[in-house]
A and B are shown apart, each in its own frame.
Chain A
Amino acid sequence: MNPKLLGGVVIGLLLCLAAVLAPWLTPHDPNRQDLSAIRQPPVWMGGAWDHPLGTDSLGRDLLSRLLWSARVAVMVALGATVCAAVIGTPVGLVSGYFRGRLDTVLMRVVDVWMSIPAVLLAIALMAVLGVGLLKVILAIVLVDWTRFARVIRGEVLALREREFVEASRAIGLGPFRIMAEELLPNLVPLLIVLASLEMAIAVGVEALLSFVGLGVEAAVPSWGSMIAEGRGYLLVGWWGMTLPMLALVVTVVGFNLLGEGLRERLDPRLRTDAAR
C-alpha cells in the first residue's frame, strides 16, 4: 500500500468510526447550551476536562459537535457520491458507446449544466429547495452527476475502439450487454477513483452550504456552520473556527489522498484531473 493510500484509508476509517460511534463517544449532547460555560478554551490552553476541546459561544461542547458533524459529512459523502455515480455513469456509457446524435445532445446538456458555476448552482438549488440533509445531498447530486458523465464518456470513447469490444460484437453481443460485460469492468478502477474524489468534493460543498446557512438544518451540527459560528468570536476564541476547519481539511485531504492513492495503485495512467 502506498503512503497516500494508507493515509487516505486511515483518515477514512477514523472518520467513519467517529460518525458511527458519535452517540457513544461524545461527552455531551451536541446541542446542549450552557451559558455559564461559554467559549471555554481546550484543555491544553487551560480549559477543563469536562469540555476537552472547549465550548462555543452558546456553551455547547465542541468535541461533541465535531463528532456529530462527522456523521453529516459521512452521510453526505456517501449519499451524494453513490447517487451522482448512479446517474452519471449510465449517461456517460450510453453517450460514449452510441456516439452520434444522442452523444451530441447529452454532452451539450452536460456543457450547459457545467457553464453555471457549481457553487452558484448548488446555492440556487438550496435556496429553492430549502435546507436539510437530504436536500443538500440532492443539490450536490444535481450539480455533480455531470462530472461522472463526462469522465466516463471520455473513457468509453477510448475503450469502444479497442478490439475486444469489436470481438464481442462479432460474437453477437448486443450493445447493452457489451456495456455491462465488456465496458463496465474496465471502468471500475476509474469509478473507484472518481468516487473517492467526489466524496472530497461533496464534503467540501456541504461545508460551504452550511457555512452560508443553506446547508443542513440549524439543529444539526455541521463543520460548515460551526466555522461560520466560530468566525464571529475569532479574536476571543480562535479554536471555535479553527477546530472544525481542521476537521474539514483533514477529511477532504483524506478523501483526496484515498483517490490519488487508489489511482496510483489501480491504474496510474487514469486521467481524473478533469473531474475536479
Chain B
Amino acid sequence: MTALLEVQNLKTHYRLGGWLSLRRLLRAVDGVDLTLKSQQTLAVVGESGSGKTTLGRTILRLVDPTAGRILLDGQDISCLSQARLRPLRRKMQIVFQHPYASLNPRKRVGRIVAQPLWVHRVPGDHRRQVSELLGRVGLPASAADHYPHEFSGGQRQRIAIARALALRPDLIVLDEITSGLDVTVKLRVLALLRELQAEFRLAYLFISHDLSVVRTVSDRVAVMYLGRIVEEAPTEALFERPLHPYTQVLKASIPDPAARGSWNPPVLGGDAPSPVNMPLGCRFHPRCPLAQAICRDVEPELRELAPGRRVACHLAEAPPHPALSPSMGRG
C-alpha cells in the first residue's frame, strides 16, 4: 500500500504582533513528519498548544505552511496556489470541532450539504444525492429543508460529515469532532465513522485531545507536544507500553472508572510552556520527570525504536519484545 498522505518536516509559524510591537514567532507546527495510508486512521493526540489543530489545517492548506512538504497521492500540494488546489479539494475534506459554528446558520441543511457538489460541478441530481448522504449519516431526507439550529450537536456533526462525504474524498481530517458531544452521543458518532470508513474507503486524520476516544478509532497514534511529534506507534502498542515519558504521563493522567481507588496521576512540573518561547533541547525536558543533562542541550530526533514505533526521546529504549507489525490495525 502506498501512502495517501505524506508530510515531511512540516512547519507552520505565525508572526505575532505587528507595526511597532514586539515581533514574536509562534511555532505552532515545528517539524512534523507523518504518513497516512489509504483507508487507515491516524490519530494525532495532544493537549492545547500542541499544534494539532494547526497541523490539520495546514495539511488541507487552510493555513499556509512555512516550510516542508505535503504529499497527497504523491503530489506536493504545499506550494500550489489556491486556484490550483481547488480540484484537489475533492480528495480531502475536513469536519470541524464546533457543531454550532461549522454550519452556516442562514442556510438550509440541503444547501449546506449540496454546496460541495455544485462548487465542483458534480453531475447528477444534487437533491437526490443530498438525501442519500443524509440517509447515510442517519438523518431523514426531510432534514434538508431545515436550518441547522433545529438540530442537536450530534445531529449537526452528522450534517457536517455528510457535507465532507459529498465529494467522495479519500481523506477526511476530523478535528476534535467529538469534544463537544456528550458521551452516549459521542460513541454513536464514532461508530458511524467506522461504518463510513469501510463503505467509502476513507482515510481519517483524527485529531483529538482525548486518548480514550483515540483508542477506539485509530490504527496508529501520533502524540504531539509543542509542535512536534514525540511518539508514533500502532494504537495497541502505544497504549500497552508508551515509550515517551510524555505519553506515559498522558496515559496515566486519565482516571479509569474500572480501576477505582488505584489512580495516582503523575505530577508534572508546572504548566506547558507556550509555543512562543520554546525551551532549548528537548521540548519536554522542563517538565520531564526523567530529564538529564543531554535533554537540556540536544533536541532528540524521532528515532525508530522498533518497526513502526518512533520516539523522540534520548532515554527511551526499544520495548523488550518486537512491537506489533506496523501496518496492522487496531488489536
Shortest Cβ gap from A125 to chain B (Å):
32
On chain B, the number of residues with a Cβ less than 8 Å from chain A's Cβ atoms is 30
User: B127 an interface residue at 8 Å Cβ cutoff?
Assistant: no
Chain B positions 71 through 102: 1 when the CB is less than 8 Å from some CB of chain A, otherwise 0: 00000000000110111011001101110011
Chain B positions 288 through 301: 1 when the CB is less than 8 Å from some CB of chain A, otherwise 0: 00000000000000
| Chain B residues within 8 Å of A167, by CB | 94, 96, 102-103, 160, 163
| Chain A residues within 8 Å of B62, by CB | 166, 169-170
Interface of chain A residues 135 through 155 with chain B (CB within 8 A):
none
| Chain A residues within 8 Å of B116, by CB | 171-172
Shortest Cβ gap from A58 to chain B (Å):
54
Across the interface, do A170 and B104 meet the contact criterion of CB distance under 8 Å? Answer: no
User: B106 an interface residue at 8 Å Cβ cutoff?
Assistant: yes
Q: In the complex, A166→B101 CA distance in Å? A: 10
Q: Which of B60, B98, B105 contacts A170 (CB 8 A)?
A: B60
Chain A positions 170 through 203: 1 when the CB is less than 8 Å from some CB of chain B, otherwise 0: 1111100000001001101000000000000000
Shortest Cβ gap from B72 to chain A (Å):
14
Across the interface, do A170 and B119 meet the contact criterion of CB distance under 8 Å? Answer: no
Interface size class of A (residues with CB under 8 A): 10 to 19
Across the interface, do A186 and B98 meet the contact criterion of CB distance under 8 Å? Answer: no
**Given contact pairs A167-B160, A172-B120, A186 touches B89 in the complex (Cβ within 8 A):** no
User: A238 an interface residue at 8 Å Cβ cutoff?
Assistant: no
Closest to A186 in B: B106
User: B241 an interface residue at 8 Å Cβ cutoff?
Assistant: no
Across the interface, do B101 and A172 meet the contact criterion of CB distance under 8 Å? Answer: no
| Chain A residues within 8 Å of B24, by CB | none
**Given contact pairs A185-B106, A186-B106, A170 touches B94 in the complex (Cβ within 8 A):** yes
| Chain B residues within 8 Å of A182, by CB | 104
User: A168 an interface residue at 8 Å Cβ cutoff?
Assistant: yes
Across the interface, do A162 and B115 meet the contact criterion of CB distance under 8 Å? Answer: no
User: A163 an interface residue at 8 Å Cβ cutoff?
Assistant: yes
**B residues in contact (CB < 8 Å) with A:** 19, 57, 60, 62, 82-83, 85-87, 89-90, 93-94, 96-98, 101-107, 115-116, 119-120, 160, 163, 167
Sampled A-B contacts (25; CB under 8 Å): A162-B101, A162-B102, A163-B102, A164-B103, A164-B105, A166-B96, A166-B102, A167-B103, A167-B163, A168-B104, A168-B115, A170-B93, A170-B94, A171-B89, A171-B120, A171-B167, A172-B85, A172-B87, A172-B90, A172-B119, A172-B120, A173-B115, A173-B119, A174-B82, A174-B83
